Amino acid sequence: MKIAYVLSSTNPVGGATKAVKTMLSGLMKLGVEPVIILPDKEGIYGEFKAMGMTVYALNYKLNIYPGHRTLRKCLEFAPRILMKVVLNNWAAGQLATILEKERVQIVHTNVGVINIGFKAARKARLPHIYHIREYADLDFDMHVFPSKKHFQQQLNAPQSYSLCITRDIQRHHRQTGKATSLVVYDGIKPATQQMPCVGKKPYLLYAGRIEPAKGLMELLQAYALYRQASKEALPLHIAGSIHDAGYWQQAQQYIEEQQMQAQVKYLGLIPNIEQLMMEAQAIVIPSRFEGFGLCMPEAMFCGCLAIGRNTGGTKEQLDNGKQLQGSDIALRYDTIEELAQLLSEVAHMPLTTYRQYTERAFNTVNKLYTEEKNAHDIFQLYQDILQSPRL
């Protein structure tokens, strides 16, 4: 079975990239031969080549409207849209030639905001799958070109399928109940027999990109309230890359204004984030509207208590766990004040209660979000597509 995978980025630590690497690991064990399409030769390009995969680098961009918050960007708005359309159409033509050359059977686009895979599949008369990992508008303030309605028309076209990483994303894109749409949760890692048992250290953890969508400022505001009410507040460690320098500057200014420099520590991008998760007292997921969010189930695999914002994919994961286990698998909040209270509760939580939360969480992710289950469900979709009559 030969499948072309169109990726949006070569960033090795991006959520979509990490998810597709785990997915490919499982699918290749089932006999899938991947043909990887990347937008450049950076990052994971060399990693995939070293693994002996067939990899192509084409020049294409996200199929979204450009920003227009400054006068300069407003003046460049129309030319930038035109440039994207021309560039992506050219890349789609190149990809169609590659599909024929490699005898690809299905085109699988790894996100919903890339359209060259769909266009190339139309030209090559091949089935196409949109792997929708984002709300786009609610989480990243992205708006698909030319419109959301046009994107939904692509999803509903003949030989067009969608894989949605949560039920809520499926609902958001109006694919609920359609035979051509399937919800498959991301695989985090292979199923494992036992939750890691590592000695905890007294700190709270934030792990993720530093940008408005991930909610770091809200966490800092809650931490300030928690610190004011506590005599010995647990320190907060921030791990992640800075994607918005202006936003990080605001965060640093707030830390200084609240005189929290001694308690809040920025660690930068940490390669071995699992060790930090294992040792943390708790991880906080403050994203304003996470699509699925790999960070929380990653932490749960590591035996770390999670505190999650009660929205989007975070909420769906918590609801899944409660339904499966009969009790909450993590702590959830809706307001900054509620988060501050939970930070205080974690600092004084009895060990027995803590272990009950983490064990329920581990059992949930080890059942719902494994590499094996993710690969099995997607492989089954491939088989169903290839056995369907062609139009």
pLDDT in tens, 312-335: 999 999 999 999 999 999 999 999
Give the per-residue pLDDT at 177: 94
Question: Across residues 338-361, what is the average pLDDT?
Answer: 95
pLDDT in tens, 153-206: 999 999 999 999 999 999 999 999 999 999 999 999 899 878 888 889 999 999
pLDDT in tens, 81-98: 888 999 999 999 999 999
High-pLDDT (> 70) share of the chain, % = 98
Backbone Cα Rg of the chain = 22
Give the per-residue pLDDT at 76: 75
pLDDT > 60? residue 391? no
Q: What is the mean pLDDT of the chain?
A: 93
Domains of the chain plus CATH, in order, are 2-187+371-387 (3.40.50.2000), 204-368 (3.40.50.2000)
pLDDT band of 388, cuts 50, 70, 90: confident
- Which residues are paired to 148 by β-bridges? none
pLDDT > 60? residue 29? yes
CB 267 within 8 A of CB 296: no
Give the per-residue pLDDT at 339: 97
- The residue that leads in pLDDT, 46 or 14, is 46
Question: Across residues 203-228, what is the average pLDDT?
Answer: 95
Give the per-residue pLDDT at 289: 86
Question: Across residues 249-263, what is the average pLDDT?
Answer: 96
Burial class (CB in 10 A: 0-12, 13-18, 19+), 6: buried
What spatial distance separates the first Cα and last Cα of the chain, rounded to whole Å?
20
- The residue that leads in pLDDT, 331 or 138, is 331
How much of the chain is in helix, strand and coil states, percent to nearest 5? 50, 15, 35
pLDDT > 90? residue 115? yes
Range from 63-72, 178-187, 213-222, 238-247 carrying the lowest mean pLDDT: 63-72
Give the per-residue pLDDT at 143: 87
Give the per-residue pLDDT at 194: 86
Nearest to 279 by CA among 172, 381, 196, 364: 196
CB 285 within 8 A of CB 310: no
CA 321 remoteness from chain centre: 19
pLDDT in tens, 291-313: 888 899 999 999 999 999 999 99
Give the per-residue pLDDT at 304: 96
Give the per-residue pLDDT at 14: 82
Q: Which DSSP string corresponds to 299-325?
A: HHHTT--EEEESSHHHHHHHHHHHHHH
Cα–Cα distance, 131 to 6 (Å, whole number): 10
Give the per-residue pLDDT at 70: 72
pLDDT band of 142, cuts 50, 70, 90: confident
Question: Across residues 250-277, what is the average pLDDT?
Answer: 94
Give the per-residue pLDDT at 35: 97
pLDDT > 60? residue 238? yes
Q: Look at residue 255 and give its three-state secondary structure.
A: helix
Q: Which two tokens stand for residue 297?
A: 């189930």
pLDDT band of 390, cuts 50, 70, 90: low
- The residue that leads in pLDDT, 7 or 80, is 7
pLDDT band of 271, cuts 50, 70, 90: confident
pLDDT > 90? residue 233? yes
DSSP 114: -
